[in-house]
């Protein structure tokens, strides 16, 4: 049955691409879809790091308010921006097929971190990327390199790089590829070198609980393999405290029924040492994936992560 569906979305170029992508897929299935563009607190606060002002949930709250007030029916999110615990009355209705989950190295002058000049500055807004970069640079004996905060939407971050404020920046490969900016990528980090964030590269669609009509409309957009993988990844983060601003990486891949999950944690203020953990399990449903995530989180804690 066709429906009228309003999508709440942030107004950054990447967020609008994501919303338009979902809109097109729903329209192909006969639904009438409109967009409700919004500016969130996360978009407005650019002079402080997210970890100091409330985490990535700042990108979600205004969209949830639109759902609660009935001004919108669904909200499209980059899943890595979605808090691990949704507020009462909301649910994740759909996880779509994942784009490239890896991190991208973007620089005008340095093909890889090994090419950085003395005293260079790397920009990133992520505590996860910070601890992974610190570990990487420590192994290279590059204590001269500084890692500085980088806020703003994707276009703003690229502009700051082009202005010379940073020698290089690290961004999600998925966002660059979705906006046709793949040529800006100088190097893509393997998961072994820089483990992705929970949910990175995946789109999640949030709805008010009890909307069986929307769940049915969104079901064809869901990707089972991605949903199982991110269920395990998000379970690690949830078990570690649930903060989107935690210096934590978690990445899972599904091969047949076998789910492989790897995680890493670092202390941004302490030694540049990572605590790592991994596990495998046969999974048939989300609860199996979440159980694997909880086991890997317990291994992280046993190794000293907190």
> How far apart (Å, rounded) are the C-alpha atoms in residues 117 and 164?
13
Sheet of strand 168-172, all strands in order from the earlier edge strand to the far edge: 146-149, 121-124, 168-172, 103-106, 187-188
Instruction: Give yes or no for a contact between 96 and 227, defined as CB atoms under 8 angstroms apart.
Output: no
Q: Is 73 a catalytic residue?
A: no
Name 172's bridge partners: 103
Per DSSP, helices labelled H in the chain are 13-28, 41-44, 50-53, 61-68, 127-139, 154-162, 173-178, 212-218, 224-239, 286-302
Q: Residue 304: count other Cβ atoms within 10 Å of its Cβ.
A: 10
Which residues, including other chains, have CB under 8 Å from residue 115's CB and lie 6 or more apart? 109
For the CA atoms of 50, 54, 60, 62, the dihedral, rounded to the nearest 10 degrees, stands at -120
Which candidate in 73, 81, 100, 262 is catalytic?
A: 81
Name 188's bridge partners: 104
Q: Which residues are catalytic?
A: 81
């Amino acid at each position: 049955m066709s429906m009228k569906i309003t999508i709440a979305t942030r107004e950054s170029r990447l967020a609008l691409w994501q919303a338009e992508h979902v809109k097109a897929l729903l329209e192909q299935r006969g639904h009438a879809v409109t967009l409700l563009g919004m500016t969130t607190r996360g978009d407005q606060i650019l002079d402080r790091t997210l970890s100091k002002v409330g985490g990535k949930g700042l990108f979600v709250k205004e969209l949830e308010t639109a759902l609660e007030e009935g001004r919108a029916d669904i909200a499209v999110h980059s899943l890595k921006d979605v808090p691990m615990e949704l507020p009462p009355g909301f649910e994740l209705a759909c996880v779509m097929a994942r784009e490239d989950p890896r991190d991208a190295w973007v620089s005008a002058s340095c093909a890889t971190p090994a090419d950085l000049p003395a005293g260079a500055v790397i920009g990133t807004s992520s505590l996860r990327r910070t601890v992974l970069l610190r570990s990487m640079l420590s192994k290279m004996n590059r204590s001269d390199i500084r890692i500085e905060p980088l806020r703003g939407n994707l276009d703003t971050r690229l502009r700051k790089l082009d202005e010379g404020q940073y020698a290089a920046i690290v961004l999600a490969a998925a966002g660059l590829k979705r906006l046709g900016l793949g040529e800006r990528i100088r190097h893509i980090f393997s998961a072994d070198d820089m483990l992705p964030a929970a949910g990175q590269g995946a789109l999640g669609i949030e709805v008010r609980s009890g909307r069986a009509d929307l769940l049915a409309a969104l079901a064809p957009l869901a990707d089972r393999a991605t949903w199982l993988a991110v269920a395990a990844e998000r379970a690690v983060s949830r078990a570690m405290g649930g903060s989107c601003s935690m210096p934590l990486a978690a990445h899972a891949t599904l091969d047949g029924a076998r789910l492989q999950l790897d995680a890493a944690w670092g202390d941004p203020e302490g030694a540049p040492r990572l605590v790592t953990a991994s596990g495998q399990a046969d999974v048939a449903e989300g609860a199996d994936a979440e159980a694997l995530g909880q086991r890997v989180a317990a291994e992280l804690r046993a190794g000293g992560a907190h």
